[in-house]
Amino acid sequence: MWFDLHRHLEGSHSPRALLTVARAFDLRHPTFFDAARGDFRTEAELATSLVMAAPSDDANVFYACIVKARAAYVSIAAIRALCVLAFEEAAQDTDGFEMRLSLFSMTRTLLENQRGSWRDVPPVRFAEDFARPILTAVSSARDEVQAATGKPMLLRLGLSRTFESAAHYDALADMVKEHAAALVGLDVLGIVTGADTEPLPEGLLRVLERLRPALPDLTIHAGEFAGHASVDRTLALGVRGIGHGIHSLQSPATLERLAREGVTLEVCPSSNHLLLPSALARLGHAMPLASLQRAHVHCVLGSDDPTPMGTTFQRELQVAREGGVDMARLQADVARRWAQLQR
Ligand SMILES: [Zn+2]
């Protein structure tokens, strides 16, 4: 079975799905609606603003695509409709998947779209009146599509390292604990700039520690925009998986520790190709996934953000195969990781 084990909900809204929801909810936002023509845009027109045209070391090019799609997060009903379509499309593309849900950023976006700001919403109201209905909507959309397709679908809660407000994250964590049964684990994600591009803010570490008794399976994006030290720091937290982690290839000691501790790297070839062109060239490995396998590191495959990256999970499988990845070993590692996620 080929499960997509690194895929983000916010990057899984296709032009087709966004236009379906824009029409259903009459969203005449300029991203979806051409006022001069008096009609909704075509899928091809929308794709030009949602899909990266070429590789870029500037992560803002990618982030701008994500921000565009968020214009459709106007109500709980619209978010639920988008989720149903995202899960249906992911089901067609895979034998099953784990989807990452950036609940804080979805809640912040809903508030921005409805009221213009989120910081003036008290933390408990932020969590109870906005984040909880979003989580319930995503989870019920998952249940509905999982039942209809028969394909297994796991949800992981993603917490961004941008960590805009400790009080709002704390309130969110208290609420999420009550929904732990709907989730498979926790993830840390997010793009930041500065000296440390993959920081783990103290406050965020405390939130993770509070949630881990309920959600022990922790993954962290590391060794993507930063070097192997970011992976070493992440390993100290007892993670089960690391998003990307390709910079582990800089350090034999890091590779050895990953292999010894049985931590899985979630590798996304097209994502790396598009977001890290210079870093990949410096690293000197044409297909990091194949090199990591040769170092005896457990690796699984992910599509990451299929819409901005213009890919599918099937395409990632093809890229891996053509890049010399040991597909039997990959399949065994996918099965191993999938078994860890069944609890
Ligand atoms: Zn990711």
pLDDT bracket for residue 311 (50, 70, 90): very high
pLDDT of residue 201: 93
12 CA from centroid of ligand 1 (Å): 12
Domain containing 103 — which CATH number? 3.20.20.140
111-133 pLDDT per residue, tens: 999 988 999 999 999 999 999 99
Residue 15 has pLDDT above 80, yes or no: yes
70-98 pLDDT per residue, tens: 999 999 999 999 999 999 999 999 999 99
> Of the candidates 146, 144, 247, 244, which has an alpha carbon nearest to the alpha carbon of residue 190?
244
Cβ atoms < 10 Å from Cβ of 13 = 26
257 CA from centroid of ligand 1 (Å): 22
Q: Which residues contact 218 (CB under 8 A, 6 or more apart)?
A: 185, 186, 187, 208, 212, 237, 238, 239, 240, 241
125 CA from centroid of ligand 1 (Å): 28
244 CA from centroid of ligand 1 (Å): 7
pLDDT of residue 193: 86
Residue 170, classified by CB atoms within 10 Å of its CB into exposed (0-12), middle (13-18) or buried (19+), is middle
pLDDT of residue 207: 97
Residue 191 has pLDDT above 90, yes or no: no
Within 13 Å and on the Cβ side, how many CA atoms surround 252?
Answer: 0
For the chain, the domain total comes to 1
128 CA from centroid of ligand 1 (Å): 27
38 CA from centroid of ligand 1 (Å): 37
pLDDT of residue 333: 98
Residues forming a β-bridge with 39: 34
328 CA from centroid of ligand 1 (Å): 24
C-alpha span between 48 and 50 (Å, rounded): 6
271 CA from centroid of ligand 1 (Å): 8
Range of 74's domain? 4-341
Residue 50 has pLDDT above 80, yes or no: yes
* Average confidence (pLDDT) over 252-271: 98
Residue 161 has pLDDT above 90, yes or no: yes
> Of the candidates 196, 333, 165, which has an alpha carbon nearest to the alpha carbon of residue 263?
333
37 CA from centroid of ligand 1 (Å): 37
Length of the chain: 343
pTM exceeds 0.95 for this model:
yes
pLDDT of residue 195: 87
pLDDT of residue 343: 73
86 CA from centroid of ligand 1 (Å): 16
Residue 194 has pLDDT above 90, yes or no: no
Q: Which residues contact 54 (CB under 8 A, 6 or more apart)?
A: 274
* Cα four-point dihedral sign 234, 296, 342, 301: positive
174 CA from centroid of ligand 1 (Å): 24
